[in-house]
Structure 1
Amino acid sequence: SRPDDARPGAEARPPEPEVPALPLPDPRDPVARRERLALAAVLQYPQHVPPMFDDLGEDAFAVPAWRAVHAAIRAAGGVREGRSLGAGHWVEAVVEQAAEPVRGLVTELAVAPLPEDRENVVGGYVAGVVRGLVDLGLTRRVADAKSRLQRLDPSVDLAAYQEAFAALLAVEAERRTLREGEIA
């Protein structure tokens, strides 16, 4: 006779490491609010989220708590997976991938009221919120690229300066394309 947890095919999960509680975001911080709104929209309406959301990197979220939720979304397969699962199963999949202190945040975001929930306009609203988040990230990258460029001296290292300038132009072009509505 086998113990219940030794059934054939059962995967033994190692115990989760102790994870300290995440600091709660400041609700007055406009970046934290924008990131929260985008995550709530992604969890509640994955079918309306533009594919660009799945291309966001680990650094797309400035707030550590929202970065952790984003990591759980990515671990659950991203919005591509969310579209195939449907909203209820999608949230369950994200919760399953989240570390213990993040699970409550995922659940909270999944039921958080959104400023727009009318079926005939929610798709455009969700797409706009996600585009705003992507734009915020691109703006951050432009600032970082400009800062890097200012620290370089072309008379000392022309190749590094040209590389940094090309990177700045590429990010600015990506942001311009997003703002002109050409990125889906």
Structure 2
Amino acid sequence: MQRPAVLGPAFDEVPAGAFIAPPHAAVREVIAAAGGVAAAGGSAEWVAYLLEHVPNDQVRSLVTLLGVEPVRSAQESDDRYAAELLARIQERQLTRMIADAKSKLQRLNPADHPEEYNRLFGDLVALEQQRRVLRERGLGSQ
């Protein structure tokens, strides 16, 4: 929120479903309705623009807080901190998707539905790989 240019399109590509806490999901909706982070100008203008589009006082308070609250240590760069935070958000979403895929696989008999089982298993492997990459990025090793 304070430095929208740091993430820009990378934030906009994160699906809305990645934000499961209702206040955060509402802020994500406001950002999307405002044209996304890629359309943001400077920090103060961006926060003011978002505040014009908030649906209620709860979301207004969170946008205001995110617009002024210090959110990182002085030792980390803004770019790295933002990228790691975004990777953690995406990783959590992938973790939920993996749990869902595993649940579906457990309910599916591979002998009765081999094509569907193989497709789901392939999807699961791909999701696990994506999560591994995001976990590494979220831990700052990339």
- Report the counterpart of residue 52 of structure 1 in structure 2: 10
2:35 corresponds to which of 74, 77, 89: 77
Q: Percent identity between the aligned chains?
A: 39
Q: CA RMSD of the aligned region, Å?
A: 2.2
Using the size of structure 1 for normalisation, the TM-score is: 0.65
* Change beyond 3 A, Cα 1:172–1:165: same
Within 5 Å, give how 1:151-162 maps onto structure 2: 151-162=107-118
Q: Distance in 1 between matches of 2:84 and 2:119?
A: 32
1:107 aligns with 2:64: yes
Q: Distance in 2 between matches of 1:100 and 1:123?
A: 30
Structure 2 residue runs of 5 or longer lacking an equivalent are none
Q: Which has the larger radius of gyration?
A: 1
Q: Distance in 2 between matches of 1:79 and 1:175?
A: 24
Q: Distance in 1 between matches of 2:52 and 2:129?
A: 37
Tell whether the 8 Å contact from 2:88 to 2:135 is kept in structure 1 after alignment: no
Q: Aligned-pair distance for 1:69?
A: 0.8
Deviations 1:75-125 (A, max 9, x none): 11222112xx1111111222223212422221122112213256x722212
User: After TM superposition, what 4+ stretches of structure 1 lie above 3 angstroms from structure 2?
Assistant: none
- Report the counterpart of residue 129 of structure 1 in structure 2: 85
Tell me the SS of whatever aligns to 1:116: coil
Tell whether the 8 Å contact from 1:142 to 1:168 is kept in structure 2 after alignment: yes
Structure 1 residue runs of 5 or longer lacking an equivalent are 1-42
